[in-house]
Copies of this chain bind each other. A is one copy, B any other.
Amino acid sequence: MEALAEANHGHAVAYGDDPWTERAVADFDELFDCDTVTLMVWNGTGANVLGLASALSPGGAVVCTDCAHINVDETGAPERILGSKLIDLPATSGKLSARQLESLRHQIGVVHHVQPRILSITQSTEWGTLYSVAELEALCHAAHDLGLYVHLDGARIANATAALGGTREALRSFTTDIGVDVISFGGTKNGMMYGEAVVFLDRSLASHAGYVRKQITQLPSKVRYISAQFSALLHDDLWIRNASHANQMASLLHSRLVGRSDLSVSAPEVNSTFPTFSPAIEQHQIEALREWSYFYDWDTAGRQVRWMTAWDTQSDDVERLVTGLDHFLS
């Protein structure tokens, strides 16, 4: 908010030719230690579509997991705006293996099949899991070997960075170092009011990206408000500290849930836990709890739900939730 108030003073040339945006782009260049093309956009769906659009040629397709956000939570925006098929491979705990990409090889060069052109992976994943650096490196290698680019959906890239070491080197270890081509770099889930960035590490993919951003409705007239927030977030690695905190709050939450008889829960890898209610708990108790504090179902049949922590979750919030559990599940 403070970054915004500052950007709010005075006028500036619209659509990104402003000093705030120039600075934010330089901040991203420094973060990744390379000469990126970085474009600010409104939201995550827009970031994903822009990143993917830039790599697709006619007849091309996107490869992703069956639980990818682009596949199930974006109301078909990729298909509508890209006009391309998503080839969804079955994920295990939200993750894809390099070996799975081999199944694509038979369709390459055959005119009756869409041509895989870009692999989109999510780190940390929609299931709250983390790829190891070695796993991602193998995926990137396999993708490039098949002639595919690699897009990283980084709506929670900060949580992944925090979990994998919490440094800029950690970030680079699973992005620039292994050949990721373009990243959707999340801001909204890490404390920004709004705004995401598309970071092209392979600049050659960005040749039309400026036009595409506007064409897909993702060019903000007052870009500086997003840029100012990103600069504030990247400054002194605040984005990593925010995410570390969220991850720690998930660990705290987990530690306070372990041993309860009314639910079971695995240890979180980043900032989400997925408790499963015991059969003894009745559905109306779960609904009363949800009424008190909203959460999403994860696996309705299995009575599993998702509880996420955020950059602004406090340990008091965790304690309050535990008190709520005691109240509503007893």
Contact = CB atoms under 8 A, between A and B. Distances in A.
A330 B227 CA distance: 39
A76 interface: yes
Contacts of A142: none
Contact of A43 (B1, B8, B217): B217
Contact of A58 (B4, B115, B211): B211
A222 B300 CA distance: 26
Interface in A212-258: 212-222, 225
A155 to B, nearest CB: 10
User: How many copies are assembled?
Assistant: 4
Name the residue among A43, A75, A214 with the largest chain B CB count within 10 angstroms. Answer: A75
Interface string A197-218: 0000000000110111111111
A322 interface: no
A222 B208 contact: no
A213 B111 contact: yes
Nearest to A46: B217
Interface stretch (A23-31, A79-87, A127-135, A172-180): A79-87
Interface residues of A, number: 60
Contacts of A218: 42, 217
A276 interface: no
B188 A222 contact: yes
A286 interface: no
A301 to B, nearest CB: 10
Given A49-B217, A208-B58, A220-B42, A112 B75 contact: yes
A280 interface: no
A84 B215 CA distance: 10
A301 B13 CA distance: 24
A194 B229 CA distance: 14
A34 interface: no
B217 A42 contact: yes
Contact of A111 (B43, B75, B86): B75
A193 B4 contact: yes
22 contacts: A1-B8, A46-B217, A49-B217, A56-B58, A57-B207, A58-B212, A59-B214, A59-B215, A72-B113, A74-B214, A75-B215, A76-B83, A77-B216, A80-B215, A85-B86, A111-B210, A111-B219, A114-B211, A114-B215, A188-B221, A193-B225, A216-B217
